[in-house]
Each structure stands twice: as structure tokens, then as C-alpha cells.
């Protein structure tokens, strides 16, 4: 097979050397496969605003929600690899959905080129403040003494909250009852009323409840404490080892996007995440700034896909 030289490779991806050097020469579209105003959407816009300052072009968000993030992710995966259509996607479409759906209209590892991971939102175990457990160990004991009596709420089967709860059950030998809702707004009143008093939620979903005293945070499913919850232990610190679950946010491009473009975008992403103002805004939104380079993200996607495939199989969720 004849190897392509640098100029030939650029031509094959639709970019001439001068174009790659001058990139971006016009606004860049970034597909976000979730609704506008969602936590991932807000955090992405914070990042892109800073990247636009570095690169001198607007980064325009195009929200394409639906099918657990698959619609927007597929649209980006099949876009032209010219650097002017990018994707912000998360752990669902990039890892867990491969086991949750019979067929995906894209292959996360073959149809996309990672730029980098820029933030993570660990799941937080919260319980209605009126219930007895004051620690994670007490929650586990309480759940074991009341099998299937503790209801936990999520935004649907296969959601981050659902998988986190199922993972928790596997590790602790507890039996909980899943109550799926259409959205967090519908779940919140039932949590406050004590009908569904348990949650494995992303912090933006329950930060208001924690501040009001309606929710008691027991642990975060992360290897480090969250900046926004410095007094809340990690699951490991609270006695539950190997329990890590988070929605992570990553920037990607269609496969075969030129490496010079990927490198430029990755550099701008790092500059953005290292900006103290950006980091503060991330924390304010319940996210932890975290950078992985393209190779690191590829390896992480592979690991997470395998991890959640095993958990989903044990749960017994039938692919949709």
C-alpha cells in the first residue's frame, strides 16, 4: 500500500496545508446531542466561549437532542471531516449506549476522532434529609434492612442515574426500586415529599435541594472530592471501594479530520480549561475540570464501554 505524504493526507481530508494552518477561517459548528439549558450544554458553552477567544472564530452550538444523545452524535460522526463540524458528547453516546441500543447509527471509536475530555460530573448519592441514614455505611445498612423499599428516581432507563444506582446495588448487595421520570422537574417534588427519597444524581440536578436542606449528600462517585462539595466524602472514603460513576464531557470531530486541526483544537481546549474563570464557572455548574488528550480519551472510551457493558448485562436491561 502506498503511504500518503503530508500534503496528500491533507488533500484526502479536504484540507490543503495553508487551510490547516489558517484554521479556523470561519465559524465552527458544534453539535450538542442534548437539549439547550441542560448541564452538559451550559458547561460546553462556557468552554466554547473561551476557545473562540483563543482561535478568533465563533463556536456555534447546534442542539440535536433525542435517542439518548444518539441523534446528534450520529450527525456529527457523518459530517465532513473539515474541522467545521465538531461534537460535544458524553459517556452515554460514547460508551454506555453501545450496550443500551441494538444498533447505533455510528461507531464511537471508528467514526469519531477524539480531541479531548474537558470535564466530568460525578454522580452524587443523596437521600431525603428526613430519613435516618447520616452516612453511606448507614444507607447501605438501611437498604439491606428494607429490601426494595427505598425508591430512587432517574430520568429514564439507561440514564446515568439508573446505571449508577444499578452499579451501587451490585457492589453493595442491596435491592432498591427504580422509579423513572420524564425529567428532573417531575422527580424533585416526589423526592422532597419523601416518596422517592434516594438519588444517584448529577450535582446540577440536586444542588438546590442540598442548599435548601431537603437533600443530604452522602458520597460522590469519584476518586476525588468535588470542589463544590468539599465536605462530602468520596465513596471510597465512605467505605465503598471501586465505585466511580460520572457523566464525562468530551470534544470530538468526525473521523479523518486532519491532525493539525485536532492539535489546534486540543491546545485551545487546554487553554480554556486552565483559565481560572472557566474553572470557576465549571465548578459553579457542578462539574470538575479534567483534561484528557486524544489518546487518553480513546483509551478511556474503550475502558468505559467495557465497564458499562458488563454492568448493563448484569442488570438485565434489554437493548432498545
C-alpha dist (Å) from residue 23 to 20, 112, 252, 292, 300? 5, 19, 16, 22, 28
11 confidence band (pLDDT: 50, 70, 90): very low
Count of Cβ atoms closer than 10 Å to residue 213 Cβ: 8
Instruction: Output the pLDDT for position 19.
Output: 62
The predicted-structure confidence for 52-63, as pLDDT tens digits, reads as follows: 999 999 999 999
Section 240-257 average pLDDT = 95
Instruction: Output the pLDDT for position 5.
Output: 44
Which of 13-27, 125-139, 173-187, 197-211 has the least mean pLDDT?
13-27
Of 2 and 216, more confident? 216
297 confidence band (pLDDT: 50, 70, 90): very high
In CATH terms, are 28-120+247-315 and 124-238 the same topology? yes
314 confidence band (pLDDT: 50, 70, 90): confident
pTM of this structure: 0.86
Instruction: Output the pLDDT for position 209.
Output: 95
CATH superfamily of 124-238: Periplasmic binding protein-like II (3.40.190.10)
Domains in the chain: boundaries? 28-120+247-315, 124-238
For 78, the 3-state DSSP assignment is coil
Is the pLDDT assigned to residue 318 strictly greater than 60? yes
Backbone region of residue 173 per phi and psi (left: phi > 0; alpha: psi in -120 to 50; beta: other values): left
15 confidence band (pLDDT: 50, 70, 90): low
| Dihedral of alpha carbons 129, 135, 138, 139, sign | positive
Instruction: Output the pLDDT for position 61.
Output: 97
Section 246-265 average pLDDT = 96
Calculate the average pLDDT of the chain. Answer: 92
Section 192-208 average pLDDT = 94
Section 306-320 average pLDDT = 88
Section 293-312 average pLDDT = 95
For domain 28-120+247-315, the CATH architecture is: 3-Layer(aba) Sandwich (3.40)
179 by Cβ neighbours in 10 Å (0-12 / 13-18 / 19+) ranks as: middle
The predicted-structure confidence for 111-162, as pLDDT tens digits, reads as follows: 999 999 999 999 999 999 999 999 999 999 999 999 999 999 998 888 889 9
* 206 vs 300: CA distance, rounded Å: 27
* 180 vs 162: CA distance, rounded Å: 8
The predicted-structure confidence for 168-186, as pLDDT tens digits, reads as follows: 999 999 999 999 998 888 9
Amino acid at each position: 500500500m502506498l503511504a500518503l505524504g503530508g500534503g496528500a493526507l491533507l488533500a484526502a481530508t479536504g484540507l490543503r496545508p495553508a487551510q490547516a494552518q489558517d484554521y479556523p477561517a470561519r465559524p465552527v459548528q458544534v453539535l450538542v446531542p442534548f437539549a439547550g439549558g441542560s448541564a452538559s450544554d451550559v458547561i460546553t458553552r462556557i468552554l466554547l466561549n473561551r476557545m473562540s477567544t483563543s482561535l478568533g472564530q465563533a463556536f456555534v452550538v447546534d442542539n440535536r437532542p433525542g435517542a439518548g444523545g444518539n441523534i446528534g452524535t450520529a450527525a456529527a460522526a457523518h459530517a465532513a471531516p473539515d474541522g467545521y463540524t465538531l461534537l460535544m458528547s458524553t459517556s452515554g453516546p460514547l460508551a454506555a449506549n453501545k450496550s443500551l441500543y441494538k444498533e447505533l447509527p455510528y461507531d464511537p471509536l471508528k467514526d469519531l476522532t477524539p480531541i479531548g475530555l474537558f470535564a466530568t460530573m460525578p454522580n452524587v448519592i443523596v437521600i431525603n434529609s428526613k430519613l435516618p441514614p447520616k452516612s453511606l455505611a448507614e444507607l447501605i445498612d438501611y437498604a439491606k434492612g428494607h429490601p426494595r423499599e427505598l425508591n430512587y428516581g432517574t430520568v429514564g432507563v439507561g440514564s446515568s442515574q439508573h446505571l449508577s444506582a444499578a452499579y451501587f446495588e451490585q457492589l453493595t448487595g442491596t435491592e432498591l426500586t427504580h422509579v423513572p421520570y420524564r425529567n428532573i422537574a417531575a422527580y424533585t417534588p416526589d423526592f422532597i415529599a419523601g416518596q422517592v427519597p434516594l438519588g444517584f444524581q448529577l450535582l446540577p440536578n440536586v444542588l438546590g435541594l442540598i442548599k435548601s436542606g431537603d437533600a443530604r449528600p452522602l458520597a460522590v462517585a469519584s476518586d476525588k472530592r468535588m470542589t463544590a462539595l468539599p465536605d462530602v466524602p468520596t465513596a471510597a472514603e465512605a467505605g465503598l471501594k471501586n465505585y466511580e460513576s460520572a457523566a464525562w464531557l468530551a470534544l470530538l470531530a468526525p473521523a479523518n479530520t486532519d491532525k493539525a486541526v485536532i492539535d489546534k483544537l486540543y491546545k485551545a481546549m487546554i487553554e480554556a480549561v486552565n483559565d481560572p474563570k472557566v474553572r470557576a464557572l465549571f465548578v459553579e455548574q457542578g462539574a470538575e475540570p479534567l483534561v484528557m488528550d486524544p489518546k487518553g480519551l480513546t483509551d478511556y472510551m474503550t475502558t468505559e464501554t467495557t465497564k458499562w457493558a458488563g454492568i448493563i448485562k448484569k442488570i438485565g436491561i434489554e437493548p432498545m
